[in-house]
Structure 1
Amino acid sequence: MDGHDELARRFEAHRGQLRAVAYRMLGSLSEAEDAVQETWLRLGRVDAAEVENLTGWLRTVVSRVCLDMLRSRASRREELVGQRIPDRIGEADDAGDPADEALLVDSVGLALLVVLDTLSPAERIAFVLHDMFAVPFEEVAPVVGRSRVAAKKLASRARLKVRGTPAVSGAELDRHRHVVDAFLTAARGGDLGALLAVLDPDVVRRADPVAVPAGTATEVRGARAVAEETVLLRERARHAALALVDGKVGLVVAPRGRLLIALTLTVEGERITAYEVIADPVRLRRLDLAVLDK
């Protein structure tokens, strides 16, 4: 086995871990694969014999590649403004294997992927490396180009954003979680009876125009009408998860972890009295999203 073959063998032994790191940083399987491939190319341009800690070197390089990719996203996101959400969301536009990515989404958590996407690039890199992969701040610091203290502050700030601050007490939060979870379960199953049980008879559903099928009213009133619409659009619920939305229990609809819709819900007693479907990208970016602790 020549030197190149041995280097390739050693790199392949790290590929799975590198992809796991890159996916959590980028939230996209195809982009994660691109970052891993770029890392391999950069390894080929150095004298591997001089790399004392290959594991650390590879992790640092893939993290820097991901940081550059995150910083280049802002302009591309502006292209989404004004686009209507399709009636059948299906899978997000991504070149990765849908089944493979579904496993990755499950392993990370859909809501966490959505929240990670709200962090600044440096915050996300610091949080993923330290909080998710236990990389010491001495190694995180050079990746984000900050001092150890500054890198620690980045991760701390990211941690606070990920956890969020509930706007209601613990007991009330649990009650709201129970009601919203019942709504989501019924929506996923297309269970009209269960939806009627959790919706107030006078419930009001409001939505951004881009969130509803063409010709559908942006405001619907009454449990029967809202429940029947929910059954028709139940595929969206497959890509939904509970999250803190502006401090309250809400829902995020995010195929492959890409946020398309957020629902803010009003819960009174054991029923939902109103909810709003937010899909306008500008409004989505203004929301305070956080992971709902179990």
Structure 2
Amino acid sequence: MEALAYNSNVFFTALILLIVLLLLSTFKILREYERGVIFMLGRFHKVKGPGLIIVIPLVQQMVRVDLRTIVMDVPTQDVISRDNVSVKVNAVIYFRVIDAQKAIINVEDYLQATSQLAQTTLRSVLGQHELDEMLANRDMLNTDIQAILDTRTDGWGIKVSNVEIKHVDLNETMVRAIARQAEAERTRRAKVIHASGEMEASAKLVEAAKTLAIEPNAILLRYLQTLTEIATEKNSTILFPLPMDLLKGAFQENKTVKVSKTKKTE
């Protein structure tokens, strides 16, 4: 009798533990950012959550899906640009699951699939552009890559919100070539600016010459002013050219005086 009672107690204890375990496996708690994809006997049933949900043991199975934005680093890719320049490019993508059913049923591993798609898309898109466009128009390239990824992952229930190209690494030979190109461009701009300045200065000099030509004595006053400015430094000898046009008036005045004296003498 005692053995029978002992066996009964063990049976009831095991039964109670089994019921407790079944209850614990029946009730699931999903956080606000989680959803549970429920399969009943292998077939899709519904998406549940968040909060407390019931999953029937041995009949239903649940797969958790995180709906938060995922930041994925795209490994460095070797890209050959349209102008045959080899560069190494890496990027980062931001995406999230918007349809838990598609993310679980339509693709085996949506994280791995998105990563591989991002790598191939990065290589194909950048390979259609030249190096200068990669360096100068990153915003345009980011938008193009993001649009392509968003379209291709729509069937997986994934929304790609942003793509950012982080680094475009060049080899040292290309870096030196770009540096020489930038230096040549700066030199060209300096020469153009200098030539523009000379052109503007020559135009102003022409205007000044026309103004001075109206009154011949004006140029003489200008020469005297220049002499006054130079004479402030008394430690050097100044050789100042004097145009003969300035003395023309004085010569004509002397000739007039001599002619008048000759007439008086006669």
Compare relative contact order (CA 8 Å, sep 6+) and give the higher one, 1 or 2: 1
Q: Which has the larger radius of gyration?
A: 2
TM range (shorter): under 0.3
Provide TM-score, normalisation by structure 1.
Answer: 0.22
Higher strand share: 2
Provide TM-score, normalisation by structure 2.
Answer: 0.24
